[in-house]
Structure 1
Amino acid sequence: MQLSDEYSQVINIVKVLCMFGVIYIHASAVPYVDCSPAMLYYQQFITRVLTSFAVPGFFMCSGFLYFLNFNGLESYKVKSISRLKSLVVPYLFWGAFNLLITWFIQDVLDFAHLFGAGNMKLIRDFTFVDFINSFWGVRDGAPFLSTMWFLRDLIVCMVITPQLYLLLKGKYGKVILGIILVLCLMRLSFFHIAVSSIFWFSLGAFIAIHHINVFAKINKCKKNIFAVGLVFTLMYSLVYTENSEMRPIFYSILQMVTIVVLFINILLLAMLLVGTKWGDRLAKLSLASYFIYLIHEPYMGYVLQLFIRLVKLVSPFSLFPAFISLIPIVFPIVIILVCLGIFKIMKKSFPKILSFVVGGKV
């Protein structure tokens, strides 16, 4: 299956939108303020419901691209070497860099109590085992730099691609995918690796392996896609909860369907943007958006906490809800622009360093 230039640009735009969606996930003010029911719904609608496609969408794109034109062992060698550079190197670098920065904050600046680092063992007290665990699962199953769980799971998916290829390519491929889906609905994980990560990656892989032209299918029913997306988004928003004990099987199914529907909407949006000025701009941000994902946390969380404290001090009480309501919309845009500015400075002044930390040519 060959991708045309048009559909290659569609995939690039989708990856950028998924990465930006991740930034919006981390823009919720809920952990730092007492919210009314209306404010809670509003914050969760923007930072959890509308963005629910982001991480699964990138897993699907990764699985699809990995198995696009896959020809067995030789492809596995070539693609694995490529992913070693683009995934493993950034994963190790940013994990180590964050440990260093956290140590600096804790010991040099003595600000551990401000940033919540005092809830964990201080870096200076880490044992060798603690340092190893910090790259795998030390924060409720996530690495020390918690946003890196996504890269960790993606690396594991890459490791098991030969097995996935054999299972999904065979006559029982749909059955295997269905079994992974059931395990995903059960919210299982093994050694901190969520089955949901493997499912979304496998779904993208299945589409590529069996040469399913999703673009043509979307074009056939594009008139109704946005309307269906709106309906499922509203349904999901009305039942959304972060309490894992209040998620029956119906909730899990609705969540999965909503993610798929939203991702199809993002695909259609990208298809409509191809050839436009905005589409060209977004497609060119593919590597920059990866850099933004790698660098934005935990600093985005630090800045958000400080900003909310500052707003509490200087804003009239009556205006505080208005400021808080702007955070999930404006704050991610500011973070994206700042990180994009850092990317452009590094690209101009330190291209080799930038190439190393993002695992690719700039």
Structure 2
Amino acid sequence: MQITPEISCRIKLLRLPLIVGIVTIHSSINSVGYADKFFQTLVAGTWGGSCVAFLFMLSGFLFFRNFNLSLNSYKEKLQSRFWTLLVPYLFWNLALLTLVLIVINVPATSGIIQGHYKKYIGDYSFANFIDCLTGYKSLYPIAFHFWYVRDLMAMVILSPVFLLIARKIPYLGIALFATPWLLDFQIGFSIQWLGPLFFYLGCLIAVQKLDLTWLDRQRSAIIGIYLGMALVLAITQTADIKTFQHQLECCTRVMGTAAIWCASDLVSGKLEKACFKFSGLAFFVYAIHEPTVTVFKEVFNKLSKPSNSITVIVYYLLTIILATLITLAVGSFLQRYTPKFFQTITGARG
């Protein structure tokens, strides 16, 4: 499937906003009241979650638009993803592991490492080291947000299966991937069913050459329905109403991906220019936003522990804004003064 200049521009425009959506998820702060819990749920649990789904779908679309069932094509894709996925994945997980080991073994800083990171340093065995890199026991690698890249690499390896399904039973394939996700089906180990489904949807769009202009013609309805579903989902999650909550969340993710695509055509002015200007830094922001957001949350907590919803919301928004701005600044510096290094650690996305 050929990418038109319009589609290419919209994909480029969306890169940074999608990553900021992920930042909103990891910037969440323990709530102290209904208002801040609802606000964080609405932002992170609805928009942020839809951004993750959209990224999987976009990855599938870009992968399969020029992929065919031949050994040469498969080898080329694996070689390409070795540099764009595996190398950055190993670099950032090893870098964070090294940082944690240094900090935890220096008496003056050992108390900083808590929670998620501390549990990975229970011992120095080879099995624990492999778990830090893969998350085979802990579900997530030590750079836990890289579970997305890890799962994406697994789907790249299985890409011929996705392509065969998209060619032979394209719409039955949606049911095959969506059913375990909707039913929250669990087997011996935890699987993020969201990834395979949206990766497959991206594959389906590319293989079947689906007309994306249909979404633009229904823009108002799609965005309106999504906002309504997002509000209902946020209310049910804030109130901890379990009945059909997971199914509503799944449906909101699907509608959210369509709404994100539709909304991308509405961005203009300074915001549009900023999205284009910093699109090459999106992966760097993704890679380094954690533990950056954790540091800001700890700093705010030390300065003044939030005691009301307004304070929590302010801290939450400040964490998102400051983490994004600082990672963009650091990324811009590296991109300018160490271009080869920057390209290596970001998978040549700069």
Q: Same fold (TM over 0.5)?
A: yes
Question: Cα–Cα, structure 1 residues 124 and 351, in superposed 2: closer, same or farther, change >3 Å?
Answer: farther
Task: Note the residue ranges of structure 2 that are not aligned, 5 or more in a row.
Answer: none
> Does residue 317 of structure 2 align to residue 329 of structure 1?
yes
Amino acid at match of 1:78: E
Aligned residues: 348
Q: Counterpart in 2 of 1:8?
A: 8
Distance 1:143 1:347 in 2: 26
Distance 1:180 1:201 in 2: 10
Q: Counterpart in 2 of 1:270?
A: 264
Q: Is this contact kept in 1: 2:35–2:309, CA < 8 A?
A: no
Q: Counterpart in 2 of 1:57?
A: 54
> Does residue 236 of structure 2 align to residue 239 of structure 1?
yes
> Does residue 243 of structure 2 align to residue 282 of structure 1?
no
Which runs of structure 2 are paired with 1:119-268 in the superposition (5 Å)? Answer: 120-121=118-119, 123=121, 125-137=123-135, 140-170=138-168, 172-188=169-185, 191-214=189-212, 216-240=213-237, 247-248=242-243, 250-268=244-262
Q: What is the DSSP-based 3-state SS (H/G/I as helix, E as strand, rest coil) of the residue aligned with 1:213? A: coil
Distance 1:72 1:278 in 2: 40
Q: Counterpart in 1 of 2:329?
A: 341
Distance 1:228 1:117 in 2: 38
Q: What is the DSSP-based 3-state SS (H/G/I as helix, E as strand, rest coil) of the residue aligned with 2:105? A: helix
Cα distance, 1:332 vs structure 2: 0.8
Distance 1:64 1:193 in 2: 21
Q: Is this contact kept in 1: 2:219–2:262, CA < 8 A?
A: yes
Distance 2:104 2:132 in 1: 16
Amino acid at match of 1:205: C
1:269-303 deviation per Cα after TM superposition (whole angstroms, max 9, x unaligned) = 212237x5532431342330110000111232122
1:80-131 deviation per Cα after TM superposition (whole angstroms, max 9, x unaligned) = 2221111100100000001001011100255343431598457483101110
Task: Note the residue ranges of structure 1 that are not aligned, 5 or more in a row.
Answer: none
| TM-score using structure 1 length | 0.88
* Sequence identity percentage: 25
Which runs of structure 2 are paired with 1:308-323 in the superposition (5 Å)? Answer: 308-312=301-305, 321-323=309-311
Q: Is this contact kept in 2: 1:24–1:51, CA < 8 A?
A: yes
Cα distance, 1:169 vs structure 2: 1.0
Distance 2:164 2:43 in 1: 39
Amino acid at match of 2:80: S
Question: Cα–Cα, structure 1 residues 233 and 129, in superposed 2: closer, same or farther, change >3 Å?
Answer: same
Question: Cα–Cα, structure 1 residues 119 and 12, in superposed 2: closer, same or farther, change >3 Å?
Answer: closer
Cα distance, 1:342 vs structure 2: 0.3
Q: Counterpart in 2 of 1:19?
A: 19
Question: Cα–Cα, structure 1 residues 324 and 117, in superposed 2: closer, same or farther, change >3 Å?
Answer: closer
Runs of 4+ in 1 over 4 A off after TM superposition: 117-122, 189-192
Q: What is the DSSP-based 3-state SS (H/G/I as helix, E as strand, rest coil) of the residue aligned with 1:71? A: coil
Q: Is this contact kept in 1: 2:222–2:258, CA < 8 A?
A: yes
Q: What is the DSSP-based 3-state SS (H/G/I as helix, E as strand, rest coil) of the residue aligned with 2:209? A: coil
Q: Is this contact kept in 2: 1:19–1:54, CA < 8 A?
A: yes
